Structures are given as structure tokens and as C-alpha cells.
Chains A and B, each alone.
Chain A
């Protein structure tokens, strides 16, 4: 498909600001701005306490308990987290494809490829499944950490790590639920180009959750 056309039909009841912008979209950007501050405060806390844990397990270093002699391996599992990061990145791709599909709903779909690209249900499902998969990875990671002795009360790393990634996971969970509601609307009456703002707002939230993870992945997992 060579062209992306967004239809101009507007909903019956408008919510425009004096700038001609939809106030719901202004609101989601203001909300995302405030969320930036929330996550930077959590990231700041993590960074301030980084390397100041008195007891292990530690993120990148081996730690031996002086009283028991028990050896704790570095706790972070980079291959698993890299896979979950890739899944979340792909979910952002699926989300923009879902938005494009809704925006172009009324365009004729001639080929099979155009029908696949134009299926909002397919891309919304793909995004929701990718989000749920990311949460599955996170559940696996948290469970394995607890089995290896790292809890939220164990040390400063545990407290700041579980708080930061837990908050992010809660945001992903909210995003998945939001996607499920969009899917319910799509199955119930079908999303049309008139609903593109609904999908656009949820997409902005979803991409924000993705960019937060981009920062967390580098600062928490990769930088030693």
C-alpha cells in the first residue's frame, strides 16, 4: 500500500481548545509530561543508591555472604531482559500499525497485504499479546530474583529495582487493559476512522511506556 490517508470526519461532539487542538490529546500529553517526572524521580532514586547496597545479591557483581560463605551470582539476566525489550519495542511497531489501520479503515483494500495491514483487530491483538508477554518476562524475572534471595526488603538495590520496574510493569498492565477495551469496542461495533483519536491517545500512552523501558534497560541493566 503506497498511501496513507487519514480521513477528516470529526466526531459529533468536539472537545477543541482555542488552539484548535482536541483537549483530550492535550490532556494525554500533559499526563505524559507528568509521568516523565514520576519516572525520573524513581530512576534518580535508583541511581543515587546504586552501588551502595551493604549486602547482596548485587546486579552485576558476585557477592559472598561473610557469615555463611554463600556465594550470590550477579542477579541480572541480560539475555532474558534483552528478549523482553525486543518484545516491547515490537509492540510499539504493532501499535502504530493499529493506529494506521484505524485511520485508514475506509480505504479500499485490494490485496491480501493491504487487508492484513488494514486489520485493526490484528494489530491491537498483537500489541496486547506483546505487552502481556513482556509482563510474563517480568513475572519470571521477579520470581527468579526472589528465589535467588533478592526481595524488595533485602538491600537498597532490591528496594529501588523492584519499585522502579514494578511501577513500569503496572503501567504496562494498565496499557494492556486499555488495549483490551479498544479490542472490545472493535469487536462490538468496529473501530472506524472517526475513532482514530481514541486509538491515538492509547498509542501515545503505550509508546511512552516503551520509551521509559528504553531508559530503564540502559541505566539499570546494561550500565555496570
Chain B
């Protein structure tokens, strides 16, 4: 029993078609079992992050920060895709979310460079 096969999710679909002959309509949302599995995955990732925090040798290593950033980004994407249904919704919503997020992310990186938290090795 997973996402698409066993369900029909057509919120206001007739109206959507009537008003948007060329537009996309929302696709099916995940089922309850998918939601539970996603929650389990999020919990396991969080446990992994906290566990990593308590391993001094790993904290001191170069891989610690990238690992935590990747795990955090993974959780972020999972929640946005499955709980916020961005994976299943209209692409305009994706643009409305990822556009500002991209601008904000680039601004953050630029500020980190400006204030000397990130370095570019020249030569």
C-alpha cells in the first residue's frame, strides 16, 4: 500500500480542469503508511545526528560538519516533499518555494565569504 496505486486524490479537480485547461492538476498524496515510514526515517536520521555529536573522534574529523549538513538537508527535503506534498503538487508551488530559498541560500553563502567564514584558496 503505497503512494499512488491505491488512491485517487482529486481535490477540486473538476474545477481545476475547468479553470486551467493548460495547467497541471495536483497528483495523489501519500497514504498513512507512507507518513508513518517518513516519520520513522526522520527519527532515525535525528538519532544518527545526535549520536554523531557524542563521538569525539568524529566531531574532530573533517567529515563531521558536512555529514550533519547533508543529514539536515535530507530531513529538510523529506519533510518538504512528503509532508508538504511538494512532490505531488503543482510546479508553481515548487517555484514559489525553491526560488526564494535559492536566493536566500546564495545570500547566506555570499555573506559567509564576506565575513571570512568560508575561504577560496587562490593559486
Contacts and interface: CB of A to CB of B under 8 A. Distances in A.
Contacts of B46: 82, 85-86, 89
Nearest to B65: A223
Interface in A1-35: 1-6, 8, 10, 14, 16-22, 25-26, 29-30, 32-34
Interface string B25-64: 1001111100110110011001001101100000100001
10 closest Cβ contacts across the A-B interface?
Answer: A20-B20, A40-B104, A33-B100, A218-B72, A20-B16, A93-B39, A29-B96, A20-B19, A19-B23, A6-B9
B29 A21 contact: no
Main secondary structure of the interface of B (DSSP, over half): helix
B33 to A, nearest CB: 9
Given A2-B1, A4-B29, A97-B32, A21 B99 contact: no
A117 B32 contact: yes
A222 B68 contact: yes
Contact of B53 (A44, A95, A222): A222
Nearest to A9: B12
Contacts of A16: 15-16, 19-20
B119 interface: no
A202 interface: no
Interface of B: 1, 6-20, 23, 25, 28-32, 35-36, 38-39, 42-43, 46, 49-50, 52-53, 59, 64-65, 68-69, 71-72, 75-76, 79-80, 83-84, 90, 92-93, 96-97, 99-101, 103-105, 107-108, 111-112, 115, 117
A44 B111 contact: yes
B115 A96 contact: no
A210 B110 CA distance: 26
16 contacts: A5-B7, A14-B19, A18-B23, A19-B92, A20-B25, A21-B16, A21-B23, A37-B103, A48-B115, A93-B36, A95-B83, A100-B31, A203-B84, A211-B75, A217-B72, A224-B59
B69 to A, nearest CB: 7
